[in-house]
Protein backbone atom coordinates (compact mmCIF):
# COMPACT_ATOMS: atom_id res chain seq x y z
CA UNK A 1 0.00 0.00 0.00
CA UNK A 2 1.49 3.38 -0.98
CA UNK A 3 2.14 6.23 1.39
CA UNK A 4 0.09 9.35 0.53
CA UNK A 5 2.01 12.64 0.49
CA UNK A 6 -0.13 15.77 0.87
CA UNK A 7 0.61 19.45 0.45
CA UNK A 8 -2.03 20.79 2.86
CA UNK A 9 -2.04 24.52 2.22
CA UNK A 10 -4.73 25.12 4.86
CA UNK A 11 -2.06 24.99 7.59
CA UNK A 12 -0.84 28.49 6.68
CA UNK A 13 -2.44 31.59 8.25
CA UNK A 14 -4.85 33.74 6.25
CA UNK A 15 -3.10 36.18 3.87
CA UNK A 16 0.24 34.31 3.87
CA UNK A 17 1.96 35.08 0.55
CA UNK A 18 3.62 31.93 -0.79
CA UNK A 19 4.13 32.73 -4.51
CA UNK A 20 5.41 33.36 -7.00
CA UNK A 21 7.44 30.16 -6.45
CA UNK A 22 7.79 27.82 -3.50
CA UNK A 23 8.30 24.17 -2.63
CA UNK A 24 6.01 22.41 -0.17
CA UNK A 25 5.73 18.66 0.51
CA UNK A 26 8.32 18.02 -2.24
CA UNK A 27 6.02 19.71 -4.79
CA UNK A 28 7.14 22.83 -6.67
CA UNK A 29 4.49 25.53 -7.05
CA UNK A 30 4.88 28.30 -9.69
CA UNK A 31 2.65 31.25 -10.52
CA UNK A 32 2.30 31.71 -14.28
CA UNK A 33 3.96 34.94 -15.41
CA UNK A 34 1.92 38.06 -16.08
CA UNK A 35 -0.59 37.68 -13.26
CA UNK A 36 -1.96 40.62 -11.31
CA UNK A 37 -1.70 38.79 -7.96
CA UNK A 38 0.84 36.51 -6.29
CA UNK A 39 -0.44 33.23 -4.86
CA UNK A 40 -1.43 33.62 -1.23
CA UNK A 41 -3.43 31.73 1.37
CA UNK A 42 -6.94 33.11 1.72
CA UNK A 43 -9.74 32.14 4.07
CA UNK A 44 -13.02 31.88 2.16
CA UNK A 45 -16.21 30.02 3.11
CA UNK A 46 -14.58 28.89 6.36
CA UNK A 47 -11.60 27.16 4.72
CA UNK A 48 -8.05 28.31 3.99
CA UNK A 49 -6.54 27.58 0.58
CA UNK A 50 -3.93 28.88 -1.87
CA UNK A 51 -5.58 31.48 -4.11
CA UNK A 52 -3.82 31.65 -7.48
CA UNK A 53 -3.65 34.23 -10.31
CA UNK A 54 -5.94 34.04 -13.33
CA UNK A 55 -2.86 33.48 -15.53
CA UNK A 56 -2.37 30.20 -13.71
CA UNK A 57 -0.55 28.02 -11.25
CA UNK A 58 1.70 25.09 -12.09
CA UNK A 59 2.58 22.30 -9.66
CA UNK A 60 5.51 20.03 -10.51
CA UNK A 61 5.21 16.71 -8.69
CA UNK A 62 8.30 14.92 -7.31
CA UNK A 63 7.59 11.77 -9.40
CA UNK A 64 5.15 10.33 -11.91
CA UNK A 65 1.92 9.22 -10.25
CA UNK A 66 -1.24 7.41 -11.42
CA UNK A 67 -3.60 9.79 -9.57
CA UNK A 68 -3.81 13.09 -7.74
CA UNK A 69 -6.38 13.91 -5.05
CA UNK A 70 -7.16 17.59 -4.47
CA UNK A 71 -9.50 19.87 -2.59
CA UNK A 72 -10.21 22.91 -4.74
CA UNK A 73 -12.46 25.97 -4.58
CA UNK A 74 -14.02 28.41 -7.03
CA UNK A 75 -15.09 31.89 -5.94
CA UNK A 76 -15.24 33.81 -9.23
CA UNK A 77 -15.17 32.45 -12.81
CA UNK A 78 -14.62 28.86 -13.94
CA UNK A 79 -11.10 27.50 -14.29
CA UNK A 80 -9.40 24.49 -15.86
CA UNK A 81 -7.07 21.92 -14.34
CA UNK A 82 -4.85 19.84 -16.63
CA UNK A 83 -2.56 16.96 -15.70
CA UNK A 84 0.50 16.34 -17.88
CA UNK A 85 2.81 13.36 -18.31
CA UNK A 86 6.63 13.68 -18.58
CA UNK A 87 6.37 14.20 -22.36
CA UNK A 88 3.98 17.14 -21.97
CA UNK A 89 0.82 15.33 -23.09
CA UNK A 90 -2.45 16.08 -21.27
CA UNK A 91 -3.51 12.84 -19.56
CA UNK A 92 -6.45 14.19 -17.51
CA UNK A 93 -8.42 17.44 -17.27
CA UNK A 94 -11.25 18.97 -15.27
CA UNK A 95 -13.24 22.18 -15.59
CA UNK A 96 -14.11 23.66 -12.19
CA UNK A 97 -17.65 24.99 -12.65
CA UNK A 98 -18.99 24.93 -9.10
CA UNK A 99 -19.04 28.58 -7.97
CA UNK A 100 -18.77 29.60 -4.33
CA UNK A 101 -17.82 26.16 -3.10
CA UNK A 102 -15.03 23.70 -2.44
CA UNK A 103 -14.93 20.27 -4.08
CA UNK A 104 -12.86 17.11 -3.68
CA UNK A 105 -11.36 15.97 -6.97
CA UNK A 106 -9.45 12.92 -8.19
CA UNK A 107 -7.56 13.14 -11.47
CA UNK A 108 -6.42 9.81 -12.87
CA UNK A 109 -4.01 9.33 -15.72
CA UNK A 110 -0.86 7.50 -16.52
CA UNK A 111 2.33 9.15 -15.30
CA UNK A 112 1.05 12.52 -14.01
CA UNK A 113 4.02 14.80 -13.31
CA UNK A 114 2.62 18.34 -13.68
CA UNK A 115 -0.67 20.01 -12.78
CA UNK A 116 -1.68 23.28 -14.40
CA UNK A 117 -4.55 25.52 -13.22
CA UNK A 118 -5.70 28.37 -15.50
CA UNK A 119 -8.50 30.90 -15.12
CA UNK A 120 -10.65 31.60 -12.09
CA UNK A 121 -10.37 35.41 -12.22
CA UNK A 122 -7.74 35.45 -9.41
CA UNK A 123 -10.08 33.53 -7.09
CA UNK A 124 -9.41 29.88 -7.86
CA UNK A 125 -8.19 28.02 -4.76
CA UNK A 126 -6.21 24.88 -3.99
CA UNK A 127 -6.57 23.65 -0.42
CA UNK A 128 -4.63 20.40 -0.76
CA UNK A 129 -2.82 18.21 -3.29
CA UNK A 130 -2.15 14.56 -2.42
CA UNK A 131 -0.21 11.92 -4.37
CA UNK A 132 0.72 8.27 -3.78
CA UNK A 133 4.35 7.48 -2.97
CA UNK A 134 5.27 3.85 -3.70
Q: Is 0.75 surpassed by the pTM of this model?
A: yes
The DSSP call for residue 10 is G
Residue 134 lies in a domain: no
Three-class secondary structure of residue 122 per DSSP: coil
13 within 8 A of 41, measured Cβ to Cβ? yes
Range of the domain at 84: 3-125
Mean pLDDT of 30-51: 96
Residue 131 lies in a domain: no
CATH number, domain with residue 51 = 2.60.120
Q: Is 101 exposed, middle or buried (0-12, 13-18, 19+ CB in 10 A)?
A: exposed
Q: What pLDDT is stored for residue 69 in this prediction? A: 98
* Euclidean distance between CA atoms 131 and 118, whole angstroms: 21
Average pLDDT of the chain to the nearest whole number: 97
pLDDT tens per residue across span 84-127 = 999 999 999 999 999 999 999 999 999 999 999 999 999 999 99
Q: What pLDDT is stored for residue 2 in this prediction? A: 75
Q: What pLDDT is stored for residue 131 in this prediction? A: 98
95 within 8 A of 78, measured Cβ to Cβ? yes
Looking at the structure of the chain, the number of domains it has is 1
Residue 36 lies in a domain: yes
Distance set, CA 103 to CA 8, 18, 28, 89 (Å)? 15, 22, 22, 25
* Euclidean distance between CA atoms 107 and 118, whole angstroms: 16
Residue 34 lies in a domain: yes
Q: What pLDDT is stored for residue 39 in this prediction? A: 98
Residue 69 lies in a domain: yes
Q: How confident is the model at residue 73 (pLDDT cuts 50, 70, 90)?
A: very high
Amino acid sequence: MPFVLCADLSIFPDNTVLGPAFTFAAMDFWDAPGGTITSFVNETAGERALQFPDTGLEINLPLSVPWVRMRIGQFATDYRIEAFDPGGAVVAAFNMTFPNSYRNLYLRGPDITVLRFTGGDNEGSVESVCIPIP
